Amino acid sequence: MTIEAGQPLAGGQPTTVRQAGARRPLGELGLAALGRAGRAALLATGRQPVPDALEPLVRVHRAHHPQADLGLLARAYRLAEASHRGQKRKSGEPYITHPLAVTMILAQLGAGTTTLVASLLHDTVEDTELTLEQVGAGFGPEVAYLVDGVTKLEKVDFGAAAEAETFRKMLVATGDDVRVMVIKLADRLHNMRTIRHMKPASQVRIAKVTRDVLIPLAERLGIQVLKAELEDIVFATLHPEEHARTRALIAGHEAEPDALLEPFARRLARQLAEAGVAAEVTVRPRHCVSLHRVLLKRAAAPGPDGQPQRPQPADFGRLLVVVEENADCYAVLGELHTCWTPLPGEFKDFVAAPKFNLYQSLHTAVALEGEVVEVLVRTRRMHEVAQTGVVALGDPTPAGAAPDTDELDRTDPARPGWLSRLLEWQQETPDPDAFWSALTADLAGDREITVVTEAGETLQLRAGATCVDAAYLLGEQTGHRCIGARVNGRLTALSTALRDGDVLAVLTEAATAGGQPSGPSPQWLEYARTPAARLAIERWLADHPARLPVVRTGPSAGQPGQPGQSELLAPSAHRDARRGAGGRRAAPVAVAGRPGAAVRLARCCTPVPPDEVAGYPIRGGAVAVHRAGCPAGERMRADGRAVLEVRWRPQDAPAAGHRVTLRAEALNRPRLLADLTAAISAVGVGIVSAEVEPPQELRVRHTYTVELPEPAALPGLMRAMLKVSGVYDVSRPHAPEGGVGRPG
């Protein structure tokens, strides 16, 4: 659908051909008499005739809105014409031709009367002596709001920031009434149609702003007919040579008979008719930029001979199948995949899961005569929304009226989700340059993905967004408390880029009464792709200056008199109590056949009752005790060492308790070490040493050696450590199966 001024309407009233000299039936009037009678009837009822300049516009508007108030349109036109009288465009045409053309574009989209009235007046407040108060007094506050929303800010007041602040103002107004941006897009389309009258430097500047901001906004509002034409004009302005080559390819293809798509469309239509599916099958040609993108993919993928692939007939268009009901969409899909070979991975169901801009269709591709043909299937209503987006949804609910929507339906066409998110972060960016950079970056990705949380909530994110972005989309506090993520059932780094259809769980630390969350680390700024997440992280970091912790692992770094971490964690009195008389640790095990032998509990596996253990003789007549299955003990056995039978002697347990080593696997976050040591101390266990390995992919491993007051305290200690936010596994190094390896 290409919208042009004065485009004839399809499906108009049939014309009647009369033979020359035929008698006029009684009571029938000629055209001139009909015209005089119509004007007389209008004057008799006090209604003024519609100006001639509005006649094409009225015909188009009446086709969409038969009960439209034409008197209101006529008043708006007369006021606009009088206000702009004497003004000229750069093309030399009277200025009134511009609001008329913009309004015609909106009428062809099917916009309501209020939108058309505001469009006729959209430049009056900016370029004439008419004030916003006068517009409101004559046409009501709704029209005044729309006119104000698209009115540019003065460069005299804002200087170089005028353009950025104007877009900010429009976006804020769009948040309350999406028609503001619809009028702006139609205004830009007509300006782009006449861009050849601008200076070359102005053409490039305007085309780049259109490319970076207006086209993505048209995509997000679902107005594909505007987006496609804007893309083609920008392409011709910024890349005239490539545009000319692509246009030449299209012209050459159109000059030849279609031997692929048109015959396939007829075959598919016959097949659907035989299957009893009422459908309209047409070939949908690609516009210039769409074809150019296909050609770029062709050029980037070498063919069987190693040379870049040449364009194929199927590249120039796609088949569009329009049906009546949603169920018919899947019936068409069944016929397609039954009669032709579908390509794996090419099917996409946007009917069951609409895109962020309300777009709905089934997409598939089938093999046909050695080529790949794309097919779109949708209902008539879906097609209307796919073409004109939010305009097809009608005017927003008037203020004060209850919206007639399902409470479970979260789709708000007047305030789409992406717009709500944009409005949230723009308030935190007062600097115009920073706002403009963030806006263009946010709109740069012309594709969004849908992610579903494990709780069933649907999240719409820009393509390339990470787990960090998803966490902050769920709420700022959720983002601040995030300590990890699980994607499709597997733990993953917060830097992981999400894909369309991923199932996500954001792991958060437990909230405490009045307690502050751990908050993000500066590294998260490298992972955030959305402005909202970046601003929230930057705000947290600014409010919570970094406090560099002092981390000591093992003995002090050679400084006399300064204790190492083990000394900090275990008081000296506790250290003295760990040893018996003469400095030798008490032996809680007995070795069969070697009474009085010195016993050493292996540090690699730290056995405690009731672990199954084995003894191995070592130098000096001592016996090393390892847990069954310990790799070090198994190596000693393989080297020919004798295996000695040992048994626990609970009555001879050391006064200081049993030493055991535990390993905690966790998602790295601030204060994790402090929280783990606090959890260990809370169950009455003393810490001998702690080791923290460098994080890898945001995951970290903590190893603690502790002394248990009694062996039975081990399962409770492991459970307490596992409850710490971010910890997803607690184990004993070299723990054998069936032993005391994990918390019960």
Please give the positions annotated as active site: 126-127
SS3 at position 485: strand
Whether residue 648 contacts residue 589, with contact meaning beta carbons closer than 8 Å, is answered with yes
N residues, the chain: 744
The helix (run of H) or strand (run of E) holding residue 368 is strand 362-368
Rounded-to-integer distance, Cα 333 and Cα 340, Å: 10
Integer angstrom CA distances of residue 257 from 53, 251, 260, 420: 40, 12, 9, 48
Residue 338: Cβ within 10 Å count: 10
The helix (run of H) or strand (run of E) holding residue 606 is none
Amino acid 366 reads V
Rounded-to-integer distance, Cα 607 and Cα 624, Å: 11
Rounded-to-integer distance, Cα 444 and Cα 438, Å: 10
Residue 278: Cβ within 10 Å count: 12
Q: For residue 38, what are the β-bridge partners?
A: none
Rounded-to-integer distance, Cα 89 and Cα 686, Å: 84
Q: For residue 267, what are the β-bridge partners?
A: none
Which of these, 56, 143, 141, 150, lies nearest to 105 by C-alpha position?
Answer: 56
Whether residue 654 contacts residue 713, with contact meaning beta carbons closer than 8 Å, is answered with no
Q: What are phi and psi of 69, to 5 degrees?
A: -85, 95
Whether residue 691 contacts residue 703, with contact meaning beta carbons closer than 8 Å, is answered with yes
SS3 at position 146: helix
Integer angstrom CA distances of residue 184 from 187, 208, 385, 400, 576: 5, 16, 19, 26, 80
Return all residues near 556 (Cβ < 8 A) that are at least 6 apart. Answer: 562, 563, 564, 567
Whether residue 653 contacts residue 637, with contact meaning beta carbons closer than 8 Å, is answered with no
Which of these, 454, 459, 563, lies nearest to 507 by C-alpha position?
Answer: 454
Which of these, 527, 532, 525, 534, lies nearest to 422 by C-alpha position?
Answer: 532
Q: Is the dihedral of CA 380, 383, 387, 393 positive or negative?
A: positive
Helices and strands of the chain, counted as H and E runs: 30, 20
Rounded-to-integer distance, Cα 289 and Cα 403, Å: 39
Whether residue 272 contacts residue 332, with contact meaning beta carbons closer than 8 Å, is answered with yes
Which of these, 233, 197, 223, lies nearest to 97 by C-alpha position?
Answer: 197
Whether residue 1 contacts residue 322, with contact meaning beta carbons closer than 8 Å, is answered with no
Which of these, 210, 227, 231, lies nearest to 218 by C-alpha position?
Answer: 227
Integer angstrom CA distances of residue 139 from 106, 148, 196: 19, 13, 35
Whether residue 459 contacts residue 452, with contact meaning beta carbons closer than 8 Å, is answered with yes
Please report which residue ranges of 128-223 form alpha helices under DSSP H.
132-139, 141-150, 155-158, 162-176, 179-193, 200-209, 215-220
Q: Look at the block and give the residue holding tokens 């601008």.
A: 198
Rounded-to-integer distance, Cα 678 and Cα 490, Å: 28
DSSP label at residue 213? I
- On the 0-12 / 13-18 / 19+ scale of CB atoms within 10 A, 248 is exposed
Structure token digits, residue 210:
């259109």
Structure token digits, residue 28:
């029938």
